Amino acid sequence: MRIALLFHKNPFTPPASIDLIRLRAIAFGLQDLGSEVEIVAPIRSAALLAQRIPIVPTEALAERGRYHVVKACYHFSIELLGAYEGPLVCRLVRVVDQKLPLRDELWRRRLLDCQAIAAERASAVVLNNRENRTRWHKLYGHRQEVILVPTGCPKVLPVMGLDPYRSRLPIVLFLGSLAAPRMVRLLNRAAGLLKGSAEVHLVGRSKIHLYGAGHEALTGDVVDHGEYPEEEAWDFVRHARIGLALAAGPNRFDNDVSKIVTYLRGGLPTLAEDRIVTNRLITQTGFGDVFRYGDVDDLVFRVNGLLRQDFALLRPGVMTLLQENHCWENRALILHRFFSRLLDESTVP
């Protein structure tokens, strides 16, 4: 199969955020399964990604027959389709409606327009979870098949490096993007209340300006490391004591938090806020805890409780579970099997 992964941002950016990590992992996974994969992006000239995957300009979509199927990776990727008329699969992080999520108000019209194109053109929609599948069916019916492909994790982790924290206190790590103003407020308050018993560290960056609230800022109580490429970020995960996951808002469908998969794969006990879809993994494994939505006192109470627990016996089994059942290779296989069925590979040369 010849597959195009349509990506609306710069694919050459170091893979620090989940969108770029996922793009590479799915591309490599599909290639390893025997497909010819190209990343199509708004660039000027073709190049290679990691000496493996061709990245080509969006003009390639106009070449009839070049691809058996195009997978648009995000809402705004759909805007790059141009005159492409072949089989299309659209992935959406969350299904937006006329009111929710509230934090998407700045982009709501544009997001809805992309969903309308997907509803009209796509053979299938790829979503992370059942909650968003229900929303899609409610808004757009059942014309498209919905494929669930959650966030994944590496099957093999990098060699463990030196402790990047160099602190005498246990580390509570928030990894990834701050995607809502409330996350900044919660992180600040938690760091202040934990002062002297644990340190709160951020490895990632704030994206709240994308949601109309650029005035929120971290206080000095939170140690801000900025972004690190994925391979280096694993040392922050494996040398921390607790991984912290915060909800973007009150609606479960808007809270599929990829960092929980990363924490558990790295053997890091995880504390997550209620109303996060991915909390299922914490409940399943018993490798962490959940605190009440918006309740910082409960967050701090449960941090202290987790710091008193010994997770050494549980850790290997949790890491193996994530490695075997939630690796990127499994996610790519779901897509590969669907594409094969969609196209009826017996007719594909």
CA distance 198 to 190: 10
Question: Residue 50's pLDDT is what?
Answer: 83
152: nearest Cα among 13, 70, 9, 264: 264
189 and 249 fall within a common domain: yes
The 10s digit of each residue's pLDDT in 265-302 is 999 999 999 999 999 999 999 999 999 999 999 999 99
195 and 302 fall within a common domain: yes
Does 236 fall in a domain? yes
Q: How confident is the model at residue 346 (pLDDT cuts 50, 70, 90)?
A: very low
**Cβ neighbours of 335 (radius 10 Å):** 24
CATH value at residue 291: 3.40.50.2000
CA distance 193 to 184: 14
Does 160 fall in a domain? no
Question: Residue 344's pLDDT is what?
Answer: 84
CA distance 118 to 32: 28
Check pLDDT > 80 for residue 36: yes
Check pLDDT > 60 for residue 141: yes
Does 122 fall in a domain? yes
- What SS3 state is found at 116? helix
87: nearest Cα among 106, 103, 66, 107: 66
Could you give the count of Cα atoms lying within 13 Å of 222 in the half-sphere of its Cβ?
24
- What SS3 state is found at 69? strand
44 and 8 fall within a common domain: yes
Supply the DSSP symbol for 154: -
Does 166 fall in a domain? no
Question: What mean pLDDT comes out for the span 311-340?
Answer: 98
Q: Following DSSP, what letter does each residue of 270-290 receive, concatenated? A: EEEETT-TTHHHHHHHT-EEE
9 and 139 fall within a common domain: yes
Question: Residue 216's pLDDT is what?
Answer: 83
114 and 185 fall within a common domain: no
Check pLDDT > 80 for residue 330: yes
340 and 222 fall within a common domain: no
Q: Which domain holds residue 86?
A: 2-152+328-347
CA distance 165 to 172: 11
Q: How many domains does the chain have?
A: 2
The 10s digit of each residue's pLDDT in 47-84 is 999 889 999 999 999 999 999 999 999 999 999 999 89
Question: Residue 214's pLDDT is what?
Answer: 63
231 and 255 fall within a common domain: yes
The 10s digit of each residue's pLDDT in 91-104 is 999 999 999 999 99
Catalogue the E-assigned strands of the chain: 2-6, 36-41, 47-49, 53-57, 69-72, 88-91, 124-127, 145-148, 171-175, 199-203, 222-224, 242-245, 270-273, 288-291
Q: How confident is the model at residue 213 (pLDDT cuts 50, 70, 90)?
A: low
13 and 146 fall within a common domain: yes
Does 163 fall in a domain? no
CA distance 270 to 200: 14
Mean pLDDT estimate for the chain: 95
228's tokens: 């690190």
The 10s digit of each residue's pLDDT in 150-174 is 999 999 999 999 999 999 999 999 9
Question: Residue 349's pLDDT is what?
Answer: 47
Check pLDDT > 60 for residue 304: yes
**Cβ neighbours of 188 (radius 10 Å):** 19
291: nearest Cα among 240, 222, 241, 245: 245
CA distance 227 to 316: 28
Does 159 fall in a domain? no
Question: What mean pLDDT comes out for the span 168-193?
Answer: 96
68: nearest Cα among 5, 11, 115: 5
Judge contact between 268 and 238, C-beta under 8 A: yes
Check pLDDT > 70 for residue 347: no
Q: What is the rounded end-to-end Cα distance, in angstroms, of the chain?
A: 8
Q: How confident is the model at residue 345 (pLDDT cuts 50, 70, 90)?
A: low
The 10s digit of each residue's pLDDT in 232-242 is 999 999 999 99
137 and 38 fall within a common domain: yes
Q: Is residue 48 classed exposed, middle or buried when 0-12, 13-18 and 19+ CB atoms within 10 A define those classes?
A: exposed
Does 157 fall in a domain? no
Does 94 fall in a domain? yes
69 and 96 fall within a common domain: yes
Q: How confident is the model at residue 206 (pLDDT cuts 50, 70, 90)?
A: confident
231 and 146 fall within a common domain: no
Supply the DSSP symbol for 180: S
Question: Residue 169's pLDDT is what?
Answer: 98
143 and 49 fall within a common domain: yes
Q: Is residue 109 classed exposed, middle or buried when 0-12, 13-18 and 19+ CB atoms within 10 A define those classes?
A: exposed
Question: Residue 108's pLDDT is what?
Answer: 97
